[in-house]
Amino acid sequence: MTNIAVVGTGYVGLVTGVALSEIGHKVTCIDIDQAKVERMRRGESPIYEPGLDELMTKNIQAGRLFFTANHAEGFTDKDVVYIAVGTPEKEDGTADLRFINQVAKDIATNVKQDVVVVTKSTVPVGTNDHILSVIKEHLVHNVDVQMVSNPEFLREGSAIDDAFHGDRIVIGADAGYAGDMIEDVNEAFGIPVYRTDVRSAEMIKYASNAFLATKISFVNEIANICEKTGANIEDVASGMGMDGRIGHQFLRAGIGYGGSCFPKDTKALAQIAANHDHSFELLEAVIRVNNEQHRSLTNKAKEAFGSLKGRRIALLGLAFKPNTDDMRESPAIAISQELLLAGAEVVAYDPIATENAKRVMPEGVTYVSTAEEALRGADAAFIVTDWSEIKSLELRAYEQYLKEPYVFDGRNCYSLEDVASTSLNYYSVGRKAVVNGKLVETV
Ligand code: UDX
């Protein structure tokens, strides 16, 4: 059992803290937001993540999981401090290290015993060295501080499962005992550990996210060519994925990636490269392709209708992916902007993310509380997020409620054969369109 503090209770920090307590460590999660701390003490997660509330409650009751807004109290008697604060994107695409720097100073002024500092936040290569120098500069007591880079690979919506069944735990440490200690801390997860130096660990995180984003943009470009050549992206991706060197994952064509990681980390890595006089052309293209992919549904609707002026569009799903209320960089934002710019009226429905959506979506979008309400009287439906509730919506609901039988499906939720037996005009990604019951090439 190790005494651990986790600073920052956003997605990464909270899931990390809860998971570490579940494997037997005594964990104190620190956050500056007192109201949030109160909620978490009651076992209420501030984020929507399946299974998290239950695990929090269990470990609070077991006396292994604590929450505090008081840094001095949080750092008392801790052998390990995890940094899990945000690294938002600055205007030039680089990571904003304001919160990281503040935590470094807080650690320096509060720790009274030797401590290993573990960085979970995604930070540019070299940041751990920078954190250590800030800590050493402000250190009040004569203690030893060592750094470990331990990037997270959790996916929102399945973060709990990923925490206990991830593919690897990356531990980046230079000389000293810190790497061994963090390997011990993680032993009970039973997940393969990969040891490397600090800078390589920092790079593994960026390179992994950039590679996955590249797979998505690649398959989206193949989908765009499928549409022009009459091929079917679902079959193409399945056939490609059977090659073990390629694999099936992250080959789902759609409306482009969103979320808190891929958009931010791809831009940050391109910027890191630029700062070192290297132009990362491939990654720049991945980002451009993704931005363009956000427009694909609207482009199809414009083609089908001629003009979208005065058309009422039902947006089904707003979150950047299912099983999360996270709206960060959701394609729904860009899609709504495009639609409003084209003079359309936007009526939106999401099972969970509506309150978060209201904060980041453009002005002028109307929100409703059921899919049927969104569809009723609309000229077209746009399927944006493949929530299981939305995927399982019967095709006859569209026939029944839409004014015009047009469905633009950004997540390929329905089989073309099923749609062909309805009266719907259906446009999806990388597949033939269905018009008047017939499969047609879109160009
Ligand atoms: C991602 C990484 O997977 C995770 O390892 C890292 O720690 C954080 O970033 P997350 O953003 O939660 O996780 O979601 P993920 O499931 O990876 O999806 C990201 C985006 O890509 C979503 O918008 C999703 O819809 C899109 N996506 C994913 C596709 O369009 N096609 C795919 O095949 C897979």
- Per residue in 333-376, pLDDT tens? 999 999 999 999 999 999 999 999 999 999 999 999 999 999 99
**């929102």: which residue's tokens?**
156
The answer to whether residues 255 and 389 belong to one domain is no
Say how many Å lie between the CA of residue 327 and the centre of ligand 1.
Answer: 13
The answer to whether residues 117 and 256 belong to one domain is no
321 in contact with ligand 1, CB cutoff 6 A:
yes
pLDDT range class, residue 92, cuts 50, 70, 90: confident
User: Where does a domain end: 196, 222, 255?
Assistant: 196
Closest-CA residue, ligand 1 atom 25, reads: 321
Q: Find out whether 153 and 184 touch, Cβ atoms under 8 Å.
A: no
* pLDDT at site 224: 98
Range of the domain at 10: 3-196
Residues 105-146 pLDDT 10s: 999 999 999 999 999 999 999 999 999 999 999 999 999 999
Say how far apart CA 382 and CA 405 lie, in whole Å.
12
The answer to whether residues 351 and 228 belong to one domain is no
The question of whether 226 is a catalytic residue gets the answer: no
Closest-CA residue, ligand 1 atom 27, reads: 257
The answer to whether residues 339 and 387 belong to one domain is yes
Listed in sequence order, the residues at least 6 apart from 303 whose beta carbon sits closer than 8 Å to its beta carbon are 442
Among 52, 215, 217, 261, the mutation site with the greatest number of ligand 1 atoms within 8 A of its Cβ is 261
Atom of ligand 1 nearest to the CA of 256: 30
Q: How many Cβ atoms sit within 10 Å of the Cβ of residue 61?
A: 10
Q: Which residues are annotated as a binding site?
A: 31, 36, 87, 122, 153-156, 205, 250-254, 258, 264, 321, 328
In this structure, the chain runs to a length of 443
215 in contact with ligand 1, CB cutoff 6 A:
no
Number of separate domains in the chain: 3
Query: What does the pLDDT average to over 231-254?
Result: 98
Residue 93 has pLDDT above 90, yes or no: no
Residues 310-322 pLDDT 10s: 999 999 999 999 9
Closest-CA residue, ligand 1 atom 1, reads: 155
Atom of ligand 1 nearest to the CA of 151: 7
State the number of CA atoms in the 13 A half-sphere of 410 facing the CB.
Answer: 31
pLDDT range class, residue 265, cuts 50, 70, 90: very high
Closest-CA residue, ligand 1 atom 6, reads: 153
206 in contact with ligand 1, CB cutoff 6 A:
no
Say how many Å lie between the CA of residue 83 and the centre of ligand 1.
Answer: 23
pLDDT range class, residue 329, cuts 50, 70, 90: very high
Residue 179 has pLDDT above 90, yes or no: yes
Closest-CA residue, ligand 1 atom 8, reads: 261
The answer to whether residues 141 and 30 belong to one domain is yes
Residue 443 has pLDDT above 80, yes or no: no
Residue 262 has pLDDT above 60, yes or no: yes
Residue 194 has pLDDT above 90, yes or no: yes
Atom of ligand 1 nearest to the CA of 152: 7
Q: Which residues are annotated as a binding site for NAD(+)?
A: 31, 36, 87, 122, 156, 264, 328
The answer to whether residues 53 and 190 belong to one domain is yes
Say how many Å lie between the CA of residue 155 and the centre of ligand 1.
Answer: 7
The answer to whether residues 182 and 34 belong to one domain is yes
* pLDDT at site 91: 87
Say how far apart CA 270 and CA 355 lie, in whole Å.
32
Output 431 or 50, whichever has higher pLDDT.
Answer: 431
User: Where does a domain end: 291, 312, 334?
Assistant: 291
Residue 389 has pLDDT above 60, yes or no: yes
* pLDDT at site 128: 96
156 in contact with ligand 1, CB cutoff 6 A:
yes
Say how many Å lie between the CA of residue 121 and the centre of ligand 1.
Answer: 17
Look up residue 281 and give its two tokens.
């052309």
CATH number at residue 158: 3.40.50.720
The answer to whether residues 256 and 341 belong to one domain is no
Query: What does the pLDDT average to over 417-443?
Result: 93
Q: How many Cβ atoms sit within 10 Å of the Cβ of residue 366?
A: 13
Among 156, 158, 168, 262, the mutation site with the greatest number of ligand 1 atoms within 8 A of its Cβ is 262
Q: Which residues are annotated as a binding site for substrate?
A: 153-156, 205, 250-254, 258, 321
Atom of ligand 1 nearest to the CA of 162: 5
Closest-CA residue, ligand 1 atom 16, reads: 155
Residues facing 235 on adjacent strands: none
* pLDDT at site 334: 98
Say how many Å lie between the CA of residue 33 and the centre of ligand 1.
Answer: 28
Predicted structure pTM score: 0.95
The answer to whether residues 301 and 155 belong to one domain is no
The answer to whether residues 82 and 28 belong to one domain is yes
The answer to whether residues 111 and 151 belong to one domain is yes
User: Where does a domain end: 270, 291, 312?
Assistant: 291
Q: What is the chain's alpha carbon radius of gyration, rounded to the nearest angstrom?
A: 24
Listed in sequence order, the residues at least 6 apart from 339 whose beta carbon sits closer than 8 Å to its beta carbon are 298, 308, 313, 346
Catalytic residue among 29, 226, 261, 413: 261
**């030893």: which residue's tokens?**
144
Say how many Å lie between the CA of residue 97 and the centre of ligand 1.
Answer: 23
* pLDDT at site 89: 84
Q: Above pLDDT 90, what percent of the chain?
A: 94
The answer to whether residues 264 and 212 belong to one domain is yes
